Amino acid sequence: MRVKQSGCFCFGRSSGMICNKCQTEFSTNRSWQKYCSKTCAKGQYKSNTLSEAYGVDRSLVGAIGELKVANDLLQKGYYVFRSVSHHSPFDLFAYCKRTGRSFRIEVSGGMPSQSGISYDKHSDAADHFDVIAIALFDKIVYLPDIL
């Protein structure tokens, strides 16, 4: 059954869900569904991109992510070295004098998703770095955790 409510088309049988984008009540049989339509879901995703969040061109998002990770590591007591080549096998090198540990770090932009965090896995170059740092808008996630 197809139901139209406030300009959004919804599929399903149960009701009482509120669209995260347009705040319209809609019917669905998917308890995890957050949006009443593909239009609302797509519009919400566009407003959550890092380039829009920072208000800059997409080409700058990588540099911003690297600098955010460098800043985070500096605040945690690491010495941080940044690659000057775009063809380097990793983005940052971090060394902790206190522990003697060092890491080759690849920085990737990420977005929250229903399953956790969505990011570029860099699986083809995994042997070139020790840690992947996922730069989200409001925090940094390290895989594996380096602390």
Element (H, E) at 46: helix 38-47
Contacts of 31 (CB under 8 A, 6+ apart): none
Prediction pTM value: 0.63
- pLDDT for 87-137, tens place per residue? 889 999 999 999 999 999 999 888 777 777 777 776 666 688 999 999 888
List the one residue out of 14, 42, 8 whose CA is nearest residue 28: 14
CATH class for domain 56-143? alpha beta
- pLDDT for 29-51, tens place per residue? 777 788 888 777 765 554 456 67
Show me where the domains of the chain are located: 2-47, 56-143
- Contact between 118 and 108 (Cβ < 8 Å): no
List the one residue out of 101, 48, 103 whose CA is nearest residue 70: 103
Q: What is the mean pLDDT of residues 40-64?
A: 69
pLDDT on residue 77: 94
- pLDDT for 6-20, tens place per residue? 444 444 455 678 887
Beta-strand runs (E) in 19-143: 25-28, 79-82, 92-95, 102-113, 116-119, 131-135, 140-143
